[in-house]
């Protein structure tokens, strides 16, 4: 902060994780703080809005006039949803903080888990900074599973969750889980595909841990595809062979290999839409080929 200010550089912070409440950005010397109002302030996944808050009038004059010149505007309906969200923000955040910490602690005690990246846990890298700067924690954290499960098994785990839905835009009432493959980043721990990010919503904490329990294994190790539907809904492009449509709309089970599909009568067919398991849907691109076996 001091180094930036000494060089006349403004410090800008995305303070969305703290909902603008759990970290006092201006007290820490930040000049411009931003919020995805979509998230904790909106709180119900039905609003797209952001805010930019500045330290002083000089910055306001500069940013405010730019905002007006480029014509950014928000609707009265969106503003009213944000105002409504503010009325319940404190109670939602308080429940979420406790519930998320309890779920994170439950996960940290599981035999399949290497570490839980929740900053309020002393084992989390950077915990000391969270303790120094924040007044609390919110509902987004990640779990890193011990080496062993394949990416397919991690997807199967996410698929098998009932209460946790798959989604990126967190901080609504519904808990979310998203599997990540961060690959190998030099200087970073080799977590690769073993990370799942959670958003904790307003469900009962014990229901959430019960859901995690039934979705993974039973403490006895990973069980590939134990619970997952792992089915694909397939459609073909117009250039498909004439034989192909007879396979359309059937359910297929993907194998792990990736190459052209070897479907009888559908050689060289381009698959135009693959909706595999809900987790896989997020990584399989429109024109990708996978080897498919017809589901039993």
Ligand X SMILES: Cc1ncc(COP(=O)(O)O)c(C=O)c1O
CB nearer to ligand X: give 89 or 290. Answer: 89
| Strand-pair partners of 184 | none
Backbone dihedral angles phi then psi of residue 143, each to the nearest 5 degrees: -120, 140
Whole-angstrom distance, CA of residue 224 vs CA of residue 129: 38
Could you tell me the smallest distance in angstroms from the CB atom of residue 178 to ligand X?
10
Phi, psi of 226 (to 5 degrees): -55, -50
Residues 183 and 205: their CA atoms lie apart, in Å, by: 31
Under a CB-based contact definition with an 8 Å cutoff, are residues 74 and 81 in contact? no
C-alpha separations of 40 from 49, 202, 208 in Å? 11, 12, 20
Taking CB under 6 A as the criterion, which residues in 45-104 touch ligand X?
A: 50
Quote the least distance from Cβ 42 to ligand X, whole Å: 9
Applying CB under 6 A, the span of 5-13, 14-22, 101-109, 186-194 interacting with ligand X comes to 14-22
Residue 249, both tokens: 């709309």
By CB under 6 A, which span of 12-20, 76-84, 92-100, 182-190 interacts with ligand X?
12-20
The CB-nearest residue to ligand X is: 36
Q: Which residues are bridge partners to 116 per DSSP?
A: 143
Q: How far apart are CA 187 and CA 38, in angstroms?
A: 33
Q: How far is the CB of 2 from ligand X (least distance, A)?
A: 24
User: For residues 159-198, which are near ligand X according to CB under 6 A?
Assistant: 168-169
d(CA 88, CA 63) in angstroms, rounded, equals 29
Q: How far is the CB of 141 from ligand X (least distance, A)?
A: 13
Among 13, 16, 200, 244, interactor with ligand X by CB under 6 A: 16
- Strand, helix or coil for residue 92: helix
The residue from 33, 38, 138, 216 that contacts ligand X (CB under 6 A) is: 38
Which CB, 47 or 103, lies closer to ligand X?
A: 47
To ligand X, the closest distance from the beta carbon of 72 in angstroms equals 13
Interface with ligand X, residue 250, by CB under 6 A: no
Binding site for ligand X (CB under 6 A): 14, 16-17, 36, 38, 50, 168-169
């Amino acid at each position: 902060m001091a180094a930036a200010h000494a060089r006349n550089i403004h410090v800008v912070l995305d303070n969305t994780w703290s909902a603008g409440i759990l970290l006092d950005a201006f007290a820490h010397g930040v000049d411009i703080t931003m919020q995805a109002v979509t998230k904790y302030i909106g709180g119900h996944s039905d609003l797209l809005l952001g805010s930019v808050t500045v330290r002083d009038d000089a910055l306001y004059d500069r940013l405010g006039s730019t905002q007006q010149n480029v014509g950014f505007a928000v609707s009265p309906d969106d503003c009213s949803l944000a105002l409504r969200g503010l009325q319940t923000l404190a109670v939602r955040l308080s429940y979420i903080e406790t519930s998320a910490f309890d779920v994170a602690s439950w996960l940290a005690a599981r035999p399949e888990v290497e570490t839980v990246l929740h900053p309020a846990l002393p084992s989390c890298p950077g915990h000391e900074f969270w303790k120094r700067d924040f007044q609390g924690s919110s509902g987004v954290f990640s779990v890193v599973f011990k080496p062993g499960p394949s990416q397919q098994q991690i997807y199967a785990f996410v698929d098998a969750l009932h209460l946790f839905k798959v989604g990126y835009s967190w901080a609504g009432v519904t808990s979310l889980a998203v599997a990540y493959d961060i690959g190998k980043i030099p200087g970073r721990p080799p977590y690769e595909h073993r990370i799942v990010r959670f958003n904790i919503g307003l469900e009962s904490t014990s229901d959430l841990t019960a859901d995690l329990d039934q979705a993974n294994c039973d403490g006895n190790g990973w069980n590939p595809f134990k619970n997952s539907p792992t089915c694909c809904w397939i459609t073909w492009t117009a250039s498909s062979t004439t034989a192909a449509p007879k396979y359309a709309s059937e359910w297929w089970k993907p194998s792990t290999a990736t190459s052209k599909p070897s479907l009888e009568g559908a050689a060289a067919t381009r698959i135009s839409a693959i909706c595999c398991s809900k987790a896989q849907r997020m990584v399989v691109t429109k024109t990708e080929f996978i080897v498919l076996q017809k589901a039993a």
